[in-house]
């Protein structure tokens, strides 16, 4: 059986059931003036993974494998934004407030867009999600089922929030999940390291982790 070099052991890949899911590579998390920055984070860390995320996307496209993009965002009337989410913490700008890139994390605003280097192409699925996990209040589960996808390679941000939440949701739904280490990032390097360790602990209790080069070599 084909396998991708991974931790804690080789990932038993089935190419006809495999897709890449790129989580929330949006300007609001990666650029000054966006949601991430409004929470006091150093957003420059996010920009550094763009070349590796791009390589992964291109590898999947070249191999003819599905690429799915997610975006954390809300309706302009905020009807899908619970007060408990909007009121959390003490940010400079809250979700829905007008910022330098438009309203924070609102559908259709410039700051909510996926980074241009990683923009979806025609035919790729885009999941707009109001939660941290991509299965909550979206059609992702049905789409994966229709396409016969049972294995997901994960990239995107932030490792310990939307990436890990979605991996855990997927794992509980029976998907085999593989995190691409260089293609994910956190504002906190220690949280990224802890998430990688947690995911692959206890015999891949949530999933596997692998290097981008090893994933690309396998699907080439
Ligand atoms: C956060 C995300 N960190 N995409 N969202 O609020 O991880």
> Is 24 annotated as catalytic?
yes
Supply the ipTM of this predicted assembly. 0.95
- CATH number (domain holding residue 139): 3.40.50.850
Instruction: Encode pLDDT of 21-60 as tens digits.
Output: 999 999 999 999 999 999 999 999 999 999 999 999 999 9
> Number of folded domains in the chain?
1
> Per-residue pLDDT averaged across 64-75, rounded?
98
Residue 162: active-site member: yes
Rounded to an integer, the average pLDDT of 181-206 is 98
What is the pLDDT, as a whole number, of residue 89? 84
Q: 73, 132, 162, 192: which one is catalytic?
A: 162
Encode pLDDT of 84-108 as tens digits.
999 988 889 999 999 999 999 999 9
* Nearest alpha carbon to residue 30 among 88, 114, 129: 114
Active site residue 129: yes
Task: Kindly tell me the burial class for residue 123, based on how many C-beta atoms sit within 10 Å of its own C-beta (0-12, 13-18, 19 or more).
Answer: exposed
What domain range includes position 114?
1-218
Distance 1 CA to ligand 1 centre (A): 35
Mean pLDDT of the chain: 97
Kindly report the number of other CB atoms within 10 A of residue 203's CB atom: 7
Contact 143, 175 (CB under 8 A): no
What is the Å distance from ligand 1's center to 74 Cα? Answer: 13
Residue 177 pLDDT level (bands cut at 50, 70, 90): very high
Q: Give the count of alpha carbons within 13 A of 40, CB side only.
A: 3
pLDDT for 1 equals: 86
d(CA 39, CA 158): 13
């Amino acid at each position: 059986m084909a396998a991708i070099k991974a931790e804690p052991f080789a990932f038993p890949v089935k190419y006809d059931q495999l897709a890449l899911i790129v989580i929330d590579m949006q300007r609001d998390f990666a650029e000054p003036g966006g949601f991430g920055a409004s929470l006091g984070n150093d957003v420059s860390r996010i920009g550094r993974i763009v070349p590796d995320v791009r390589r992964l996307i291109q590898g999947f496209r070249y191999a003819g494998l599905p690429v799915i993009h997610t975006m954390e965002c809300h309706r302009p009337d905020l009807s899908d934004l619970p007060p408990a989410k909007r009121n959390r913490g003490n940010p400079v700008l809250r979700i829905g407030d007008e910022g330098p890139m438009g309203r924070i994390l609102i559908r259709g605003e410039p700051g909510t867009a996926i980074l241009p280097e990683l923009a979806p192409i025609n035919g790729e699925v885009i999941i707009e999600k109001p939660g941290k996990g991509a299965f909550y209040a979206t059609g992702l589960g049905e789409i994966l089922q229709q396409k016969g996808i049972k294995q997901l390679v994960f990239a995107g941000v932030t490792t310990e929030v939307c990436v890990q939440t979605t991996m855990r949701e997927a794992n509980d739904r029976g998907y085999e999940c593989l995190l691409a280490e260089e293609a994910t990032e956190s504002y906190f390097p220690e949280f990224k390291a802890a998430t990688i360790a947690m995911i692959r602990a206890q015999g891949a209790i949530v999933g596997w982790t692998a290097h981008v080069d090893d994933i690309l070599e396998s699907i080439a």
